[in-house]
Structure 1
Amino acid sequence: MQKLRNTTTLGNNLRTIRKKCRLTQEQVVARLNLLNIEITRSYYSRYETGELNIPVETIVALRYVFQCSYDELFQNIRPDIQ
């Protein structure tokens, strides 16, 4: 299973988009479960805080739930070039 490295920015983007959609974490989780993404609210909250990596299929499902673009999901995320 591929995963994207989670950052606080991605978590912040998820929280911002969720609130813009006027959804609670519980509602997001319920919609993800309907899309066969088995997740709990406490687990999802750890995505928003940047504690957990997000599987690619979950990113795709979140885009569908939020009806947003990938650009919006990944807004302000820049490569860490040293």
Structure 2
Amino acid sequence: MDRLTADMNMGSNLRLLRKKHKYTQDRLVARLGIFGVSTTRSLYSRYETGELNIPVRLLVALHMIYGCSYDAFFEGLELENTDTL
């Protein structure tokens, strides 16, 4: 079975994309509200640090805000094989 390596998370990609597009967390959270995603700066911060799993509706809204491919959120994530033969 494959699983994501523990040291990689989407949160760092969220942070990189936010900074690339020159958003503060507060400004981004306000913009997410326009797309119907209700969150707080504190909660969004926990997505970026990897403390919380990222809801799909958040990824869809960020995809529309940034105009990026969904691949950008998963960049650098690798699967490791956990099968034992």
Taking structure 2 as the reference length, the TM-score comes to 0.82
Greater RCO (CA < 8 Å, at least 6 residues apart): 2
Deviations 1:23-55 (A, max 9, x none): 100111011111111000000000000000111
Letter paired with 2:10: L
Q: Larger radius of gyration, structure 1 or 2?
A: 2
List structure 1 segments (4+ residues) > 4 angstroms apart after TM superposition: none
User: Any residues of structure 2 matched to 1:26-65 within 5 Å, and which?
Assistant: 26-65=26-65
Task: Name the SS of the counterpart of 2:81 in structure 1.
Answer: coil
Unaligned runs of 5+ in 2: 1-6
Q: Which residue of 1 aligns with 2:12?
A: 12
Unaligned runs of 5+ in 1: 1-6
Letter paired with 2:37: I
| Count of aligned pairs between the two proteins | 76
Same amino acid, percent of matched pairs? 49
The CA RMSD over aligned residues, in Å, is 1.4
Taking structure 1 as the reference length, the TM-score comes to 0.85
The structure with the largest helix share of the pair is 1
